[in-house]
Chains A and B, each alone.
Chain A
Amino acid sequence: MGKVFAFHGGIHPPENKKQSTRTPIRDMPLPKVLYIPLQQHIGIAASPVVNIGDRVLKGQMIAEPVGRISAALHAPTSGIIRSIGPHPVPHASGLDSDCICIETDGKEEWVEHHGLEDYTRLEPGTLIEHIRQCGVAGMGGAGFPTDVKLHLGDNHIVNTLVINAAECEPYITADDMMMRERADEILGGIKVISHLLKPSHIMIGIEDNKPQAIHALEAALKGCELNIDIRVVPTKYPSGGERQLIKLLTGIEVPSGRIPADIGIVCQNIGTTAAIYRAVHFGEPLISRVVTVTGDAVAQPQNLNVLIGTPFADLLDASGVYENKLYRLVMGGPMMGVTVEHDQIPVIKTTNCIIAASTDEMPPAPPEQPCIRCGMCEQVCPAELLPQQLYWFAKGREFDKAKNHNLFDCIECGACAYVCPSSIPLVQYYRFAKSEIRTEETEQRKADHARERFEARQARLEREQAEKEARRKARAEEAARAQQARKTASETPVAETGSAAAVTAAPVDVKALKTAAAVARTKLKKARTALKNAEDKGLDGIDTLRITVTTLEQKADAADQAYKDAEASTVPEQAAAPAVDLKTLKQQVSIMRTKIKKAETALAELDGEARAQAEQDLSTLRQRHEEADKAFKAAEQAQIDAAAAQGVDLKKLKIDAAMARAAVTKLERSLAKTEEDEARAALEAELAIARAKADTLNNTLKQHEPA
């Protein structure tokens, strides 16, 4: 037996371990339903690979690991998948989380499985992958996937393997009973780990309150070729903490914020080693574990071999719970465990103990009193922190200071709260502060990420703008050059342009004629005015003027006639020309509408005769508007029909219809908001139009939609 060091602080609470070690580990009767939470540890939840209604066999994988820190889940027995969804899970929050629910069929039919023949000849990677596929996870505390820890040998030099058999927390005896009854399995698991990590030294740390377990281990170790030391440590809570046990066994302290592997040490729980043994030698995944069921409110405190996913209620039934004595149900030990409200919460890979406590055993916490700065918490802190200082910071929400006082080195063992004479729930303050800091950090990370994305987007938009600008410039230059070229071309007229001019001559003609007719009319008008002037004033040369006017009259008539003829000949052409320009029509309609509006406003101001005149004008306008509108609608319909004939762009129609519907909704909303009568009337009119449009579109859509 080697030297044992000491760690700072620690306490000696009543052990209460004897109650549950009187009988050997008993197999639980098969429960009716099992709930297997998809997330049983930090990291990423497993992803289900079965569907509701599937029949699964014992040991069949039901959820596969996603990413590096994730563990596979297996069916603990044969049965039918009933549901995959929220169910209460063992978590301090008391919230529901996704669970796979299996209705057992009682046949215990195993899936085909076999162990590895000779693991020593396998590649370490293959062996670790096998352990990963078997879903082995740390069974001591955090449920950290074991394969990740076994990979530590890749980039760390591991010289010491520590097997944690201390089990320091009161009441819990699961590991103790495992060692008494399954020492061979534990040893087999240690051999596998030692093959993978190749440590020079293996130490089993065990508290001196488990003499039978120590004897069992010693017996198993006889004739073992490995260099294994059993180090018996004095019973003191929390010697089973990873860092505390390492300090006890090696005298080395794991630096703050680092992991044991950084100083060449890997720590494994004995339950995990047994699981590794079963996975490697029999190919059995981790589907059951030993759970201590104890407390004053159960008739028979004992250790049960329980399938993962068994609800707490079944465990309590199997141990004979006194419902009237049961005051609270604690998951885990009395120091670090949490009280749970729901007895349908299932056992998971890390559930080592359930305490059904009576009121006398675990009375309600006395009210919190002010801190008297006695310093007892500092005396017992195994992490050598300043608990009362952390308490002030957590309470005053000075989280930065708490962090600087190494809050995150706190292992939440509860020793400080246990000794506190003012019964301050210190650990709860630390947990609160830790989760506040973590949330803040997550939010900060998210904010930084958002900033990055925002800036990247901003840069992209600027770049696009610059590119657009450059393209526009290039186009402008191109146009200028083209203009220049045209100018040069027009300065040196070529013969070819003559024919082109002839082609364009006809339409130009009409225009020219129109201008000519207008000019002639103007001249005539001027001449007439002059004549009238002259007549009035009795000037000379009236005759000449008269003759001029007559000639001009003739000329104007001729020009007018010519223009009308020319126009008549071109009209049919125009009618045949590209059907109806929808856009122009629409514009006309809207112009008309504006005119009507203006006229209406003007009308409101006028009265008397002018009013009558204006009203008449308005009615004409309205008529014209209606006509234009009709023409527009007809044209639109014609276009839609035409489009239909060519095979309508269904998607476009759909979008149009949706937009029209949205427009209707928006209008309806604004209508509901508006109170003024006039505005309401206008809105109603618009709404009617929008509705009509939406209907038309909907109808068209229905017509064209494939049946």
Chain B
Amino acid sequence: MTTVITAILILFGLAVVFGIILGYASIRFRVEGNPIVDQIDSILPQTQCGQCGYPGCRPYAEAIANGDAINKCPPGGQSTIEALADLLDVEAIPLDAEHGEEQVRTVAFIREDECIGCTKCIQACPVDAILGAAKQMHTVITDECTGCDLCVEPCPVDCIDMIPIETTIANWKWPSPTDTTRLIATDLGRGQEQQQEAH
């Protein structure tokens, strides 16, 4: 009988000790905020364009964390959807056309002769990439522009163009030797057909 009681007491004692340790740890190592939001936010392209229907990338990241669809980001395109699907362990779905289509990356360009200096585009730019003052010509800092085209609409004289980013030797990429993902032998037929087309 005493052995049983001893065993119970020892187990009880252990439970109390571990409980205290775990309770302390949960307070001491508490993580502020929702870490998954940060991870989602780091995958999103940060154009802050609002095409997803949220006012910026972070709000959309929060919405995804709360269960919104992952296919509402046209600037990120399929690669972002895949990265999100990977992170959240869900199925990768095609881009929702309702929010726009995946397009080539662009930067804003202000035709400076026509600019009247109204500052409306400056107020619209989510990343402060437009430089200028009231009644002074404005200009876009190309390196900072995310290509969100939020500045195009407010311009009263329509002097902002979205120009596709040119391929130069600085941003040129090596092409893939084959376009197919022919990883296993049974994929062979498909790959050969395409190779023959290429030759």
Contacts and interface: CB of A to CB of B under 8 A. Distances in A.
A396 B169 contact: no
Interface string B127-144: 111000001000000001
A367 B173 contact: no
Interface in B162-198: 167-178, 181-183, 185, 188, 195
Contacts of B127: 450, 453-454, 457
A451 B56 CA distance: 10
Q: From DSSP, what is the main secondary structure of chain A's interface residues?
A: helix
Contact of B177 (A93, A425, A434, A661): A425
B156 A662 contact: yes
A429 B157 contact: no
B47 interface: yes
B168 A95 contact: yes
A665 B114 CA distance: 14
A654 B116 contact: yes
A92 interface: yes
A89 B158 CA distance: 38
Interface residues of B, number: 43
Contacts of B176: 429, 432
B169 A434 contact: no
Q: Which of A39, A435, A450 has the most chain B CB atoms inside 10 A of its CB?
A: A450
B116 A457 contact: no
Interface residues of A, number: 45
A446 B46 CA distance: 9
Contacts of A442: 171
B45 A92 contact: no
A39 B169 contact: yes
Contacts of B128: 453, 456-457
B183 A392 contact: yes
Contacts of A451: 41, 46, 57-58
Interface in A642-660: 651, 654-655, 658-659
A624 B175 CA distance: 73
A450 B146 contact: yes
A93 B46 contact: no
A367 B114 CA distance: 56
Given A368-B177, A450-B47, A651-B135, A95 B167 contact: yes
A435 B174 CA distance: 6
A619 to B, nearest CB: 37
Contacts of B168: 95, 97
Nearest to B195: A367
Given A370-B185, A392-B183, 8 more contacts: A92-B174, A95-B167, A370-B188, A431-B174, A450-B47, A450-B48, A454-B48, A456-B128
Interface of A: 39, 89, 91-93, 95, 97, 367-368, 370, 392, 395-397, 425, 428-429, 431-432, 434-436, 439, 442-444, 446-451, 453-454, 456-458, 651, 654-655, 658-659, 661-662, 665
